[in-house]
Amino acid sequence: MILQGVLDSFDVKCWLFFIFVFLLVVDIVRSRPPPKFPSGPWSLPFLGNVFTNLDFKTMDKMAADYGPVFSLRRGSERIVFISGYKMVKEALINQLHSFADRPITPLFYVTFKGIGIALSNGDMWKNQRKFANTHLRNFGEGKKGLEHHIQLESSFLCEAFKEEQGRGFNPHFMLNNAVGNVISSVVFGHRFEYSDENFQKLLRLDNEAVILAGSAMAQLYDVFPNIVKHLPGPHQTINSNYRQITDFLQQEIDKHKEDWDPENPRDYIDTYLTEINKRKEDPTAGFNTETLVICTLDLFEAGMETAATTLRWALVYMMNYPEIQKKVQAEIDKVIGQSRQPNMSDRTNMPYTDAVIHEIQRIGNVVPLGFPKMASKDATLGGYFIPKGTTIHTNLSSVLFDKDEWETPYTFNPEHFLDSDGQFRRRDAFMPFSAGKRVCLGENLARMELFLYFTTLLQRFSLSPVPGAMPTLEGVLGFTYSPEDFLVRALPR
């Protein structure tokens, strides 16, 4: 009776208040970090730091306030950020097995399903990565095969530049197409004309998905997937774009199945189909058509925007630094001349050009936060405790701009990669491809592309801006860091 009276005297507002306080306590208890967990700024209950801008200035202050290992809260999850060459090296190289897994991110899980190469773990990851690696290594006759394809493609790219007849044009999708064609050759066994509307559409869908992946809504999806998935917004566009891209890949795979000849494999898909047959008895290895679709998607996703964006930065820097462009051209003329195409054995004779390409990758900073990773076991880093399963980001830009490693971190300066004799000098803090067990699978391929496209273009053309429209060196920050769209004039040399 007495209880009933007390309950009656509570009005609705009171109840709501009680429920709120109760949830708050649950939230505080549930999200309390373990002892010695990396510290971070004060965060909102329930939401955490979802409203914290991940822009360079805000985060610089965090690293300054909280040191090279700090945490941010996103919903009830705590994410650890690792910055600076020393600490990133400690995490990825000295503790090779501590941070080798990928976290499950709900938004990408819709498409990638935790299988394939880039977003998988365990045996699945090991088997699929090894298989793709072997294929890349054996493609054609050793490295020659890939080198030859890239050389051919650079000729097509030069033709497309020439057709613009010295007028200003936006090279964005030509470069994406050229880079996409190298992966197409590896995976599908053929390239696409720059006028192919289907492939152009695919490139645009992909570019859009990568840009939107950096949006606030996409990040909110990973915090509250069950709510956000029912709302309209950019995350829906991402999913729909990936659906169209996987449909396209599925069609290519179906075509391959029709005229598949195990005796004469043409490409990655053919070789994979053989592997599916060979490993029928071993389902845990994960070789099946569903995984094949995701592996091919991984190769395109990881290999296209990254390499194409680097090439766009290359053009932007060459236009902004005409005297460096001229020095590269002088080296090309001296070592290669004008009568033959550049090849990979030229690189060792071209330390200046090699240094310029490295410096473009360093300052271009194309994947600023790397791909997210997850502690594969309980780990201790910089005196902090990071429990198994914690999502971590190794801040690659903080390595590429580390003031303890680079003489002039914020200045475009090829001397970073040259010794006093003008010979090429390796730098440990050069980590645009990350490092350790999850290091970029396509690093060699990407380096070949960058060298051959860059030297072939500069051998044939002088690149300059449209008068009065010098492209800015200030990029756009999303999942990638990319230059704003710009116009270039390519005049035959």
Ligand X SMILES: *[C@@H]1O[C@H](CO)[C@@H](O)[C@H](O)[C@H]1NC(C)=O
- Which residues are part of a known binding site for heme? 440
Q: Where are the beta strands (DSSP E) in 313-453?
A: 373-374, 379-381, 384-386, 391-394
- Give dist(CA 164, CA 225) in Å, integer: 46
Q: Which residue has the tokens 């590429």?
A: 400
63 is an interface residue for ligand X by CB under 6 A: yes
**Pairing status of strand 391-394 against strand 77-82:** parallel
How many residues bind to ligand HEM according to rule CB under 6 A? 26
User: Is the distance from CB of 335 to CB of 350 less than 8 angstroms?
Assistant: yes
Pick between residue 60 and residue 419 the one whose CB is nearest to ligand X.
Answer: 60
- Return the residue nearest ligand X (CB atom): 59
Minimum CB distance to ligand HEM smaller for 227 or for 439: 439
442 binds ligand HEM (CB under 6 A): yes
List the interface residues with ligand X, window 81-110 (CB under 6 A). 81, 83
Inter-CA distances, 234 with 107, 140, 159, 225, 239, Å: 11, 40, 36, 14, 9
**50, 54, 299, 457: which one binds ligand X (CB under 6 A):** 54
Which CB atom, from 260 or from 412, has the smaller least distance to ligand X?
412
Least distance between ligand X and beta carbon 142 (Å): 10
d(CA 452, CA 331): 14
Shortest separation between residue 195's beta carbon and ligand X, angstroms:
30
How many chain residues bind ligand X (CB under 6 A)? Answer: 16
- Cβ nearer to ligand HEM, comparing 171 with 370: 370
Give min distance, CB of 226 to ligand X, in A.
26
Contacts of 486 (CB under 8 A, 6+ apart): 170, 312, 315, 316, 319, 465, 469, 471, 472
Binding residue (CB under 6 A) for ligand HEM from 172, 256, 373, 489: 373
Q: Are 146 and 182 in contact (CB under 8 A)?
A: yes
Q: Residues 319, 473: contact at Cβ < 8 Å? A: no
Q: Residue 353 Cβ, how far from ligand X at the closest point, in Å?
A: 15
Using alpha carbons only, give the angle 313, 347, 422 rounded to the nearest 5 degrees: 85
Q: Which of 371, 385, 412, 424 binds ligand HEM (CB under 6 A)?
A: 371
Cα separation, 256 vs 267, in Å, equals 10
Query: Look-up: residue for tokens 């499950």?
Result: 104
Residues forming the annotated binding site?
440
Q: Does 426 bind ligand X (CB under 6 A)?
A: no
Out of 207, 291, 397, 455, which residue is the one contacting ligand X (CB under 6 A)? Answer: 397
The secondary structure of 118-176, three-state, reads CCCCHHHHHHHHHHHHHHHHHCCCCHHHHHHHHHHHHHHHHHHHHHCCCCCECCHHHHH
Q: What angle do CA 254, 256, 260 make, to 5 degrees?
A: 125
Sole window of 4-12, 104-112, 187-195, 392-400 interacting with ligand X (rule: CB under 6 A):
392-400
Please enumerate in sequence order all residues whose Cβ is within 8 A of that of 363, keeping only pairs 6 or more positions apart, or say none. 313, 317, 400, 412
**Is residue 91 a contact residue for ligand HEM (CB under 6 A)?**
no
Question: Can you tell me the distance from the alpha carbon of 434 to that of 440, in angstroms, rounded to the nearest whole number?
Answer: 7
Strand partners, 81: 70, 393
Of 190, 21, 85, 172, the residue nearest 476 (C-alpha): 172
Q: Give the residue, chosen from 395, 413, 456, 480, that forms a contact with ligand X under the rule CB under 6 A.
A: 395
Residue 293 interacts with ligand HEM (CB under 6 A)? no
Applying CB under 6 A, the span of 29-37, 397-405, 448-456, 471-479 interacting with ligand X comes to 397-405
| Residue 256 interacts with ligand HEM (CB under 6 A): yes or no | no
Distances from the Cα of 199 to the Cαs of 204, 301, 370, in angstroms?
9, 14, 27
Select from 59, 150, 157, 457 the one that contacts ligand X (CB under 6 A): 59
- Residue 341 C-beta: closest distance to ligand X, Å: 8
Asked if 103 is part of the footprint of ligand HEM (rule: CB under 6 A), the reply reads no
Report, in Å, the least distance between residue 493 CB and ligand HEM. 26
Q: Which one of residues 355, 357, 379, 441 is an interface residue with ligand HEM (CB under 6 A)?
A: 441
Which tokens belong to 223? 């915090």
Q: Which residue carries 């941010």 as its tokens?
A: 72
To ligand X, the closest distance from the beta carbon of 128 in angstroms equals: 29
Q: Which of 434, 455, 459, 482 binds ligand HEM (CB under 6 A)?
A: 434
Query: Does residue 60 belong to the site contacting ligand X (CB under 6 A)?
Result: yes
Q: Which of 73, 74, 89, 129 forms a contact with ligand HEM (CB under 6 A)?
A: 129
Tell me if 345 contacts ligand X by CB under 6 A.
yes
Which stretches of the chain bind ligand HEM, using CB under 6 A? 117-118, 129, 183, 298-299, 302-303, 306-307, 310, 366-367, 370-371, 373, 432-434, 438-442, 445-446
Which stretches of the chain bind ligand X, using CB under 6 A? 54, 56, 59-60, 63, 81, 83, 340, 343-345, 369, 395, 397-398, 401
